[in-house]
Structure 1
Amino acid sequence: MAKKEIVFQNSNYSLSYEILNFGKPQTILFLHGWGSNKEIMKQAFGQTFSSYQHLYLDLPGFGHSSIEAVIDTGTYSDIVHVFLKALHVKPFMVVGHSFGGKVATLLKPEVLVLLSSAGIVAPKSFKVKAKIALFKMLKPFFPKSFYRFFATKDVDGMSQTMYEILKRVVNEDFSEQFLTCKAKTFIFWGKNDAATPLASGEKMHTLITGSHFFPLEGDHFFFLKQNKQIEKTLLEIGF
């Protein structure tokens, strides 16, 4: 594991990363999802794509990377862009899981691989709508810490800054970004994904012109068991 110090908009960021297969001519950047870190991506793909250099990054606020302010997905992408320039690395492929898929899309790589990517806002159930309405009604009468009682389980152990970021990014609609995406795109999805439903992947596929869509067995973290199938599919189709 290594650290890279960068400055973005007058703020210092210490970004944790790891490189495998150092020196290979082409680089694949792997970006994890919300509440995770680079280790899960390395666990899945560390033994795949042996002909390519791998770059695993803890996004700001996750793993061993710092966070300085409440930011949105666009700013995450800008920070990663500065980081890549500082390393003098230009990945030809970016693999993004969930939240990392949105960041990957904004980086506009030559080849984009989305794993149960976030970015399609699914309709909220009546239960969720009622919970939000009740929270808004009671919020003025309770301290800030009260939010955790109503919040998603994703906030467990989360700092206030990261919670504010989550609130900002969770409902970002990336339909326009997918519609204008020019990358050669491969979309893989867990058939039993409850976090980002399969219908979201199907819609993403219709939005991204020329994209390839592959539903695979598994849940939101299907790629941990389907890593070899993902590698095989990509290598067989070709980049």
Structure 2
Amino acid sequence: MAQKILTHKGGEFSISYAIQNAQNGAKPLVILHGWGANKNLMQQAFNALFRDFTHYYIDMPGFGNSKTPPFALNTQDYAEVMRLMLESLQLEPAKVTIIGHSFGGKVATLLNPKILILLSSAGILTQKSLKVRAKIVTTKLLNKVLPKNQLLRNLLRSKDVQNMDEVMYQTFKNVVDEDFSSIFKNFKNPCYIFWGKEDLATPLSSGERIHTLIYDSKFFPLEGDHFFFLKQAKEIERQFYINL
């Protein structure tokens, strides 16, 4: 396991990464995981594919073997830390291909790579269910009445964040409901958008919306849920090379 120590906004970030298929003259492929995942999951999907690329798998701050950040981050912070990480690996974001899944798709887009591959990317706001909206209202009201009740906080948190420390929970709140429509619209380089048809976390309509926003994009709905790429990685590779 390799590690880099970076500094951002005066804080120290310990970032874990792995380089695979390193070869002279190979094009760089940076692969970013989604929220709650890690580089190992992405390696599981893509390690045997994209053989003419050198793969760079990175654990973003607070995930996998990368330490919890010293303070709560937003998506711009994640992008800047990843930019510093690429520079430390002697990579220029504008000259690489980046795959980003879910939250990693937002970070990847901000890096403005030469080629962008989105896998069920986050960044399009969708209508929350009545149950979720009611829980948000209840949480806000109870936090005003009992602002320091940790047991109450844990009970009200979603299953995705119940075991997070406070820094990562605040980070989650910073990034979960962002509208990246204008950022997608301003992305001008080639983009390949792959999506799980049965995705409930980021619905297929979000992928269709991103496709309309990014002018130079191609859209590929595939069978599967939010983690469709674990079974569809070969098809992702095939469609990428066909349409390159």
1:194 to 184, 200, 207: 200
Instruction: Please give the per-residue CA displacement for 1:161-188, whole angstroms capped at 9, x wherever unaligned.
Output: 1011001100011000001001200000
Q: Select the residue among 54, 68, 73 that pairs with 2:75.
A: 73
Q: Gaps spanning 5+ residues in structure 1: where?
A: none
SS of residue paired to 2:113: coil
Of the candidates 155, 158, 161, which is equivalent to residue 152 of structure 1?
Answer: 158
Supply the distance in 2 between the matched residues of 1:162 and 1:145 (Cα, whole angstroms).
17
Correspondence for 1:214: 220
* Equivalent of residue 189 in structure 2, options 167, 183, 196: 183
User: What is the 5 A alignment of 1:1-239?
Assistant: 1-24=1-24, 25-66=26-67, 67-90=69-92, 92-142=96-146, 143-238=149-244
Distance in 2, Cα, partners of 1:118 & 1:125: 17
In the TM superposition, what is the alpha-carbon distance from 1:160 to its structure 2 partner?
Answer: 0.9
Q: Deviations over 1:127-163 (max 9, x none)?
A: 1111111111111333134222122211132111101
SS in 1 for 2:160: helix
Q: Higher mean Cα deviation, 174-183 or 19-28?
A: 19-28
Equivalent AA in structure 2 for residue 83 of structure 1: M
Paired with 1:12 and 1:71, the residues of 2 have a C-alpha distance of 13
Deviations 1:95-152 (A, max 9, x none): 0000000000000001000000000011112111111111111113331342221222
Could you say what secondary structure the match of 1:29 adopts? strand
The root-mean-square deviation of aligned C-alpha atoms, in Å, is 1.1
In the comparison of the two structures, how many residue pairs are matched? 238
Structure 2: tracts of 5 or more residues without a match: none
* Greater CA drift, 115-124 or 135-144: 135-144
After the TM superposition, which of the residue ranges 24-33 and 215-224 deviates more from structure 2? 24-33
Q: Which segment drifts farther, 134-143 or 196-205?
A: 134-143
- Report the AA paired with residue 29 of structure 1: V
Per the alignment, in what secondary structure is the counterpart of residue 193 of structure 2? Answer: strand
8 A contact 2:200–2:225 mirrored in 1: yes
CA distance in 1, matches of 2:34, 2:98: 13
Which digits, 9 at most, give the CA deviation of each residue in 1:65-103, with x for residues without a partner? 121111100110001101111111235200000000000
Question: Are the equivalent residues in 1 in contact too, given 2:189–2:216 (CA < 8 A)?
Answer: no
| SS of 1:88 mapped into structure 2 | coil
